[in-house]
Structure 1
Amino acid sequence: MSFPYPATDYQEDNRGQFHFSSRGGWMNDVNAPLYYRGVYHLYYQHAPNSLVWDTMHWGHATSTDLVHWQQKPIALDPGVHPGDLWSGGGVVDTGNVAGLKSGDDDPIVVFSGTNGVQIFYSLDGGNTFKTFADGKKVVKPNARTSRDPKVFWDPVAMHWGMVVWSDEGGNGADFYTSENLLDWTFGSRYQADWLFECPDMVRMPFEGGYKWVLSAGSGEYVVGDFDGTTFHPLSRTQQKLNQTDTHAGGGYYAALTFANLPVKDRVVSMAWQGENQGTIWTGNATFPVDQRLKRTPDGPRVVSTPIPEIATLRTSTRTWQDRTLDSASAKQLLEDVKADTYELEATIDGQNVQRFGFRLKTDRQVVYDAEAQALDGAALKPQQGKVRLRLLVDRGQLEVFGNDGEVYQSYNLHCDGLELFVDGTLKLESLTLHELSSIWG
């Protein structure tokens, strides 16, 4: 496979220092994130010789800790692999059910293609891929348009499942099942106007059992049960994984969860952020988050938090505790902070204050409205009278978490400087700022 990338030190002003971006070229949807023998693989939609969307390849990067990523040669190349190499998922065939194994490595099988699903497989640990059956489409939906297959293992039904977006009668997801990853049988269709592109289907622990989460490219999702062929939602009203204006090319789109993780029941997700660009690259990935289901008065909801491996990047830490601040003293608190790559954690008494937040010395503010009980427009009630905020600031990326992931928001913007502001009087229980090192070697 080719490695068509220019030399770079990854130090352009708005290039994220702990968010993955392709060494060069265009990047969009996350594809087939998976783990195999100590290595996390991140594939992605990629136009290596363009700064805008163009003929799709699958880019490839690897990591041993989900934090430090290394660019690899292109994994799927339209000059080698047939079909539209658009978004898709992948799995590790640890049981060799497809019968493709020919050496020591378990086959890594990925799924792509538009208006029908094609299979590609790797016998060298996910670095290079062969085309299965000369590009024959193993799934041929009846819909006019379909794309973005995601494959998952169902441990109850004991077979593989596939979810594919199609427009048959409107937006929705088609479910297929297979015993061997090669032969697929139609199971059912779940139709919903909001369910457009890049579906994901993932099983999550919940109150001693499990539920399934079905999501779309926009991050909208529903929670339900899956009987092996049919998805049964607990509610037809969708929620959002990321509470922003999610759309293709925005600050959050096309998230997928990792397959074959070494820790049982761990769910890790990454998405595409499309509003950032340098002189030789466009687009980046969100920082990985752990996802879990949490009981709320309105039913189970997905909460997202930065993976704990972020702690490996911390180079220095400063903490402020037990401060009562008015507008002037809040503004002075962080005036000597010069970092542009950092993690901030704050616990604030949400009572007796109207409004507070953080200015990033641009046109961007992270605002908690205590009267409306909302964080940048997303509902967030205090917990035991406290509001907990966590910010990841990375030159051209900002990710905001409220109350341990009840709110999760992703943005592309240039962050320069930091200021705490308050309308009224604020009781600061604690504020911790970790400066973070670069992941680029």
Structure 2
Amino acid sequence: MTATTELFPYPATDHREPRRGRFHFSPQAGWMNDPNGLVYYRGTYHLYFQHNPRSLEWDTMHWGHATSPDLVHWTQRPIALHPDVHPGALFSGGGVVDVTNTSGLATAQHDPIVVFTGTQGVRAMVSLDGGDTFEPLDDGRVLATPPGRESRDPKVFRHEPSGRWVMVVWSDDDGNGVNFFGSPDLREWTFLSRFAADWMFECPDVSVMALDGDPGELRHVLVSASGGYLVGDFDGLEFVPAGDRPQHVTRHPGGAGSDYYAAQTFSNVPDGRVVSVAWQGRNRGPTWTGNLSFPVEQRLLSSADGVHVHSEPVAEIALLHREVRTEQDVAVTAAGLRIGADPSARDTDGLDVEVAVDRARSSARRLILEAVVPGGCAETITAYDLEEHALDGHSLPAAGQAADAAVVRVLVDRDQVAVFAAGGRHYLAVNRALEDPERTAELRLRADGGDAVLSTLTVRRLGASWS
């Protein structure tokens, strides 16, 4: 297993480098893309990810590894899967913790952690030391082969009603779609069904969510790499969606290397929480390429116009709060209100800003949050249109939800931005070019076309995820 540790420890990393997020995960060195094999095991979150440790570009995939006790503080670990040690193409895939030892692989010290990967055939690797090192399962044999010229990105979940594990894998068999396989023990797999859809491309994820928090009303949410999703039921054999037009987790879906791609949910999270992260491919610096979106907790909520996934920052973000300031009845004019130094500056904290807009007392047409370089231009981070009740050009739920929808929360972390509104139904995760390495910018909130009144303004300064 020496090949998995030859590149560790990574070179000393200055997490104050320009453009590197202070509270968004990025590798200490090298390239990263999709999050993989996300599991929670005995007090630790394990993040594996597509990784090229020797270059800032995609090539020869490894699985990088980082751990966290709380989803916000991360420690990079030795590489988990290495092409010189582990068979097959080490592309994207998921992982599970076999807490009931269906595989028969448990030891006196550890439950098996099993991860799945491969192209044109799925292989698995098993860890019996808590997720640090992996051996090929059953000598690395192919466990399942979806039909088609190409297939990849297996994700496994537990289906309790049928007492089996279920694997979902993308393939191009007569067009885009995913194949479902079932297994009693994570080792022997049988084809169950295929769900075909032109939008269902790469990195499928299936999560089980309680509708409106009711554990008696469970739904399955099938998500594609671009964040498109359908809500439906899985009966142990087939996925039956409630509709045929996908919604999107984020307001800015894109392809590989975009602001949000290949999101995956953690397995085995306490209390049944659904926690998701995605690859953001447009952030890079002199020693790394790519980062992850900030972890969000997802809930499935019903409304007058249907059932929707809502995403909000995980509650553990409070562990990063260094200072919290809340003001009431704040007036915002065209001159603008200074929020704080822009987190792109090397020695400043990130910001978690929340505004509750009092539309009845506001005459402004728009409320704009922007990064301003002294003597230079302003870069819009997000803009709320009071007249159209829209955020960044996207209409927000109206009628009975209007008051809540006027609450907008923004995370700013150098070039990484996340925007939340309408109780998390509106979610936007993007890389913005906010930073000017030669000059320090500041964050400013300003009104356009009149004045605005904020019933509350909360500014939280965030420390770093890294020591």
Alpha-carbon deviations, 1:35-59, whole Å to 9, x = none?
Answer: 0011100000000001010100000
Unaligned runs of 5+ in 1: none
Q: Distance in 2 between matches of 1:70 and 1:349?
A: 42
Q: Which of the residues 430, 436, 440 maps onto 2:462?
A: 436
Offset, 1:321 = 1.3
Q: Which of 80, 85, 93 does residue 88 from structure 1 map onto?
A: 93
The CA distance in 1 between the partners of 2:402 and 2:227, in whole Å, is: 29
Give the partner amino acid of 2:463: S
The yes-or-no answer on 1:241 pairing with 2:249 is: yes
1:309 match: 316
Distance in 1 (alpha carbons) for counterparts of 2:54 and 2:341 = 41
2:307 alignment partner AA: P
Cα distance in 1, alignment partners of residues 296 and 88 from structure 2:
32
| Matched ranges for 1:100-179 at <5 A | 100-179=105-184
Aligned equivalents of 1:427, 1:154: Cα separation in 2: 49
Residues 279 and 293 of structure 2 are in contact (CA less than 8 Å); yes or no, is this contact kept in structure 1? yes
User: Which SS does the other structure have where 1:311 is aligned?
Assistant: helix
- Number of aligned residues: 438
Q: Match for residue 420 of structure 1?
A: 445
Matching residue within 371, 388, 408 for 2:387:
371
Contact 2:370 2:380 in 1 (8 A): yes
Aligned to 1:40: 45
**How far off its partner does 1:399 sit?**
0.6
CA deviation profile, 1:342-400 (whole Å, cap 9, x unmatched): 10011002344421120122433301122332211222135344501111111121111
Shift of 1:336: 7.1
C-alpha RMSD of matched pairs (Å) = 1.6
| Native 8 Å contact 2:338 2:443 kept in 1 | no
Change (3 A) 1:248 1:236: same
Amino-acid identity (%) = 49
Contact 1:103 1:123 in 2 (8 A): no
In 2, Cα distance between the equivalents of 1:301 and 1:344?
Answer: 24
1:253-294 CA-to-partner distances (Å, cap 9, x unmatched) read 10011001122x211001111111111111011110000011
CA contact (8 A) 1:3 1:72 kept: no
d(CA) in 2 for partners of 1:333 and 1:439?
25
1:65 Cα offset (Å): 0.7
3-state SS of paired residue (1:364): strand
The correspondence for 1:9, drawn from 6, 14, 20, is 14
SS in structure 2 at match of 1:418 = strand
For residues 190-211 of structure 1, give each alpha carbon's deviation from its aligned partner in whole angstroms, at most 9, with x where no partner exists. 1111110000001000143111
Helix, strand or coil for the counterpart of 1:10?
A: coil
Partners of 1:438 and 1:272 lie apart in 2 by 19
- Alignment of 1:341 with 2:350, yes or no, is yes
2:427 to 408, 415, 422: 408
Deviations 1:141-180 (A, max 9, x none): 1211100000000122221111000111111111111101
Residues in 1 aligned to 2:169 and 2:359: alpha-carbon distance in whole angstroms: 43
Partner of 1:359: 370
SS at the partner of 1:198? Answer: coil
Contact 2:332 2:446 in 1 (8 A): no
Q: Structure 2: give runs of 5+ residues left out of the alignment.
A: 373-377, 435-440
Does residue 1:55 correspond to 2:60, yes or no? yes
Structure 2 equivalent of residue 74 of structure 1:
79
Cα distance in structure 2, aligned partners of 1:307 and 1:275: 23
| Residues 21 and 284, structure 1, Cα contact 8 Å, conserved in 2 | yes
Amino acid at match of 1:364: T
Q: Distance in 1 between matches of 2:64 and 2:341?
A: 40
Distance, in Å, in 1 between the alignment partners of 2:61 and 2:141 is: 19
Give how far 1:9 is off.
2.4
Amino acid at match of 1:269: S
Matched AA of 1:258:
F
